[in-house]
């Protein structure tokens, strides 16, 4: 009968010796891991991440075992997934072999044949995946990857583990030649080679014993190799996925506790990080997907989101290098924990557009944006070290209530439209939040007027705040000025509480994200809709009926704060379709859309860019030969219009809001 033969050709003392070696290595591994955990807790600030355990476990299964984000990259991702799943099956197979050898015998008959076949199949998939990864690393060499000996050693280590396992099986099969040997097909193929070369039992048995000793030692030493080598990400990435935040929506930053009384604000040193943010640094697999997706990096700025995270890890490792000595003292010196300016350049911190592409692409759920905004908070609130143009915008907002510094009426845009004001009505079904761009920017004013005409055509009961409206200072929060944002939020909430309305309607994705995801932190809970969502709803209900078919070839640019932050992709496209536009999609669209370059207060800064983000995005649109570019954000409108003017194509390639297309189709 086919059955697993445990420790074939090995002396009786081999099994207890192997178990002893593995037990010692495992204990050292656990001690080293505990030392690392203790380091995170000793250096980092406390943070509770033990809530929602079922959801955390489910997410770990999805992103770690399921490799959900890893396989989004077709070549490297699928290769890594093959390697990972192969070793998961290999680990399960080893565990089953232990049970079969020491607890109860069950690997016999058909069960044993299936067991052997599945093990060989998945180890083969692992080796094939490793071959693809080796091709990428040594031939294709994509620039976003990190390179070095520790990656080479990890690849070689895993490859030798797989091949020596097949060799062991092949030596046994070449000696025993059982008729069911084909079930271990990789070992069987190698066995045919030994048989063809006329290797007799006198040669195969001692080679088998030597290979067995080497393989067993290598497997045991893997416990020691993992925590001090590149493969530590097997542990740290799993922990990072499990502990990734669940306390707030993707679009929300965490408020600063005790803002008015705290002695330190933001992130300037390792000690300002939470233990989970330190874990972020350890969890980075250095795949570089965040860097490849980053518009600031593509523009040639000093920012690489991967490097910002690795700066945390490298500073921590300089403080306490990984070691196999779990009793090595932790020497945490305050002069060795500085980050901002000392390790991470300030220019890199200020280049971020907070577009969230880095977070969206990261396969292990690292929170880059929280880290970068935390560093900005430190520079802004602790050191007052702010780019000059941004500092001027802060002053404009403090003086005039808007970043443009305009002191004119916030209702000038509505001239001739008979727009109702809340101060006169007191109550309305919809409160239309116009925003600073809608009030003062020419393109934003066009959008606001188009929205009003559509609301009036649909018979919507709405009103605006008018002169009572003021800037949400969302951009200031992303620039690190939490104090300005909190003051603006409290003032706006006080104004809104004086009126009654069912729905808060916005035309700016930044305001939309703030009201929807961040105002609940301050007790402001509203039903919030972006104008594209609301217009799509009015069209679906038949309250708006376009009379004209524009028939225009249009490409749509996804706003980061509407799309990636809040998952609103279909509504603007549905509105364009009902307007008769013939939509052509850019290669980078929807959740992988490319930023316009305005977010994170970049619209108010003069960040040097070798290849400006907004020009890159417009060039991508121009490659489709559209007749117009559609947007759903006043800042995207501003940036892409500027790019069109720079390239001299503003007249033949107009940039218009989705609402303008629908208003035109309405007649």
- The predicted pLDDT at position 101 comes to 86
Residue burial 12-22, b: 16+ Cβ < 10 Å; e: rest: eeeeeebeebb
Question: Which among 119, 61, 59, 124 has a CA at the least distance from the CA of 92?
Answer: 119
pLDDT exceeds 90 at position 602: yes
Mean pLDDT of 181-207: 95
Least confidently predicted of 56-65, 85-94, 303-312, 553-562: 85-94
What average pLDDT is seen over the chain?
Answer: 94
Q: What is the DSSP string of 631-656?
A: ESSHHHHHHHHHHHHHTT-TTTS-EE
Contact 498, 538 (CB under 8 A): no
Question: Which among 72, 53, 588 has a CA at the least distance from the CA of 363?
Answer: 72
- The predicted pLDDT at position 460 comes to 97
Contact 375, 266 (CB under 8 A): yes
- Label residue 560 by pLDDT band (50, 70, 90): very high
112: CB partners within 8 A, 6+ apart: 2, 3, 4, 183
Cα Rg, the chain, nearest whole Å: 30
- The predicted pLDDT at position 546 comes to 94
Please name the residue ranges forming H helices in 344-478: 346-350, 357-361, 368-377, 388-400, 422-425, 435-440, 442-458, 474-478
- The predicted pLDDT at position 353 comes to 98
State the residue for tokens 């998961």. Answer: 88
What is residue 530's three-state secondary structure?
strand
Question: Which among 488, 241, 506, 509 has a CA at the least distance from the CA of 355?
Answer: 509
Strand order through the sheet with 553-556? 582-583, 553-556, 628-631, 655-657
| CA separation for the pair 651, 654 (Å, rounded) | 6
- The predicted pLDDT at position 327 comes to 81
pLDDT exceeds 80 at position 334: no
Over residues 254-280, the pLDDT tens digits come to: 999 999 899 899 999 999 999 999 999
| CA separation for the pair 628, 636 (Å, rounded) | 14
Please name the residue ranges forming H helices in 44-75: 53-60
- The predicted pLDDT at position 543 comes to 97
List 629's β-bridge partners, or say none: 555, 655
- The predicted pLDDT at position 251 comes to 84
Question: Which among 554, 570, 642 has a CA at the least distance from the CA of 602?
Answer: 642
Tokens at 367, concatenated: 């929170």
| CA separation for the pair 452, 332 (Å, rounded) | 60
Measured over the CA atoms of residue 544, residue 569, residue 413 and residue 579, the dihedral's sign is negative
- The predicted pLDDT at position 336 comes to 77
Least confidently predicted of 99-103, 109-113, 551-555, 592-596: 99-103
| CA separation for the pair 284, 351 (Å, rounded) | 21
| CA separation for the pair 573, 630 (Å, rounded) | 10
pLDDT exceeds 80 at position 299: yes
- The predicted pLDDT at position 177 comes to 93
Side-chain half-sphere exposure of 389, counting CA atoms within 13 A: 10
Question: Which among 235, 286, 255 has a CA at the least distance from the CA of 76?
Answer: 286
> In which region does residue 163 sit, left (phi positive, over 0), alpha (psi from -120 to 50) or beta (all else)?
alpha
| CA separation for the pair 198, 382 (Å, rounded) | 77
- The predicted pLDDT at position 185 comes to 96
List 554's β-bridge partners, or say none: 583, 628
Least confidently predicted of 176-180, 430-434, 643-647: 176-180
For the chain, percent of residues with pLDDT exceeding 90 = 88
Give the total residue count for the chain. Answer: 667
| CA separation for the pair 304, 145 (Å, rounded) | 12
| CA separation for the pair 463, 426 (Å, rounded) | 9
- The predicted pLDDT at position 330 comes to 78
- The predicted pLDDT at position 99 comes to 92
148: CB partners within 8 A, 6+ apart: none
> How far from the centroid of its chain's Cα atoms is residue 516's Cα?
21
Tokens at 213, concatenated: 């000793």
- Label residue 325 by pLDDT band (50, 70, 90): confident
Contact 506, 448 (CB under 8 A): no
- The predicted pLDDT at position 378 comes to 97
Contact 115, 180 (CB under 8 A): no
| CA separation for the pair 41, 39 (Å, rounded) | 5
- Label residue 69 by pLDDT band (50, 70, 90): very high
What is residue 501's three-state secondary structure?
strand
- The predicted pLDDT at position 68 comes to 94
């Amino acid at each position: 009968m086919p059955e697993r033969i445990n420790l074939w050709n090995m002396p009786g003392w081999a099994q207890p010796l192997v178990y002893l070696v593995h037990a010692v290595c495992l204990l050292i591994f656990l001690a080293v891991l505990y030392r690392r955990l203790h380091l995170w807790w000793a250096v980092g600030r406390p943070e509770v991440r033990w809530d929602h355990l079922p959801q955390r476990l489910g997410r770990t299964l999805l992103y770690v075992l399921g490799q959900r984000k890893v396989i989004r990259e077709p070549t490297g991702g699928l290769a890594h997934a093959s390697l990972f799943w192969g070793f998961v099956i290999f680990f399960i197979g080893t565990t089953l072999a232990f049970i079969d050898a020491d607890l109860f015998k069950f690997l016999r008959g058909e069960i044993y044949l299936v067991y052997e076949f599945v093990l060989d199949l998945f180890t083969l998939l692992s080796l094939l995946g490793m071959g693809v990864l080796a091709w990428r690393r040594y031939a294709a060499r994509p620039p976003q990857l990190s390179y070095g000996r520790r990656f080479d050693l990890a690849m070689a280590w895993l490859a030798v583990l797989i091949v020596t396992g097949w060799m062991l099986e092949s030596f046994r099969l070449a000696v025993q030649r059982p008729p069911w040997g084909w079930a271990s097909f990789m070992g069987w193929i190698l066995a045919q080679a030994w048989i063809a070369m006329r290797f007799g039992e006198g040669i195969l048995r001692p080679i088998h014993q030597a290979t067995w000793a080497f393989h067993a030692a290598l497997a045991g030493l893997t416990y020691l190799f993992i925590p001090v080598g590149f493969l530590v990400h097997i542990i740290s990435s799993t922990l990072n996925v499990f502990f990734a935040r669940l306390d707030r929506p993707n679009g929300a930053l965490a408020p600063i506790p005790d803002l008015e009384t705290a002695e330190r604000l933001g992130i300037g040193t390792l000690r300002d990080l939470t233990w989970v943010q330190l874990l972020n640094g350890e969890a980075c697999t250095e795949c570089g997907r965040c860097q490849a997706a980053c518009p600031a990096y593509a523009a040639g700025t000093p920012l690489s989101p991967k490097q910002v995270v690795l700066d945390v890890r490298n500073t921590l490792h300089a403080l306490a290098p990984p070691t196999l000595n779990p009793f090595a003292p932790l020497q945490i010196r305050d002069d060795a924990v500085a980050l901002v300016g000392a390790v991470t350049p300030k220019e890199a911190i200020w280049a971020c557009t907070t577009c969230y592409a880095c977070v969206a692409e990261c396969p292990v759920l690292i929170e880059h944006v929280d880290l970068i905004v935390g560093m900005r908070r430190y520079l802004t609130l602790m050191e007052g070290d702010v780019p000059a143009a941004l500092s001027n915008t802060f002053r404009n907002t403090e003086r005039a209530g808007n970043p443009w510094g305009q002191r004119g009426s916030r209702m000038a845009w509505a001239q001739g439209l008979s727009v109702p004001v809340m101060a006169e009505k007191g109550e309305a079904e919809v409160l239309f939040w116009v925003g600073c761009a809608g009030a003062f920017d020419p393109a934003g004013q066009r959008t606001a007027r188009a929205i009003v005409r559509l609301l009036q055509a649909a018979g919507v009961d709405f009103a605006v705040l008018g002169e009572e409206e003021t800037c949400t200072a969302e951009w200031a929060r992303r620039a690190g000025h939490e104090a300005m944002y909190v003051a603006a939020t409290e003032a706006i909430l006080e104004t809104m509480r004086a009126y009654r309305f069912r729905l808060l309607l916005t035309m700016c994705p930044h305001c939309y994200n703030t009201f929807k995801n961040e105002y609940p932190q301050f007790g402001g809970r509203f039903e919030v809709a972006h104008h594209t969502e609301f217009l799509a709803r009015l069209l679906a209900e038949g309250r708006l009926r376009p009379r004209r078919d524009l028939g225009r070839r249009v490409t749509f640019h996804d706003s980061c704060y509407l799309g990636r932050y809040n998952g609103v992709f279909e509504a603007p496209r549905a509105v364009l379709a009902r307007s008769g536009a013939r939509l052509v999609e850019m290669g980078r669209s929807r959740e992988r859309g490319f930023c316009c370059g305005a977010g994170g207060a970049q619209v108010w800064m003069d960040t040097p860019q070798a290849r400006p983000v907004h020009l890159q995005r417009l060039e991508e649109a121009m490659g489709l030969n559209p007749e117009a570019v559609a947007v759903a954000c006043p800042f995207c409108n501003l940036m892409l219009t500027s790019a069109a003017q720079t390239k001299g194509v503003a007249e033949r390639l107009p940039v218009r809001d989705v609402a303008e297309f629908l208003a035109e189709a309405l007649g």
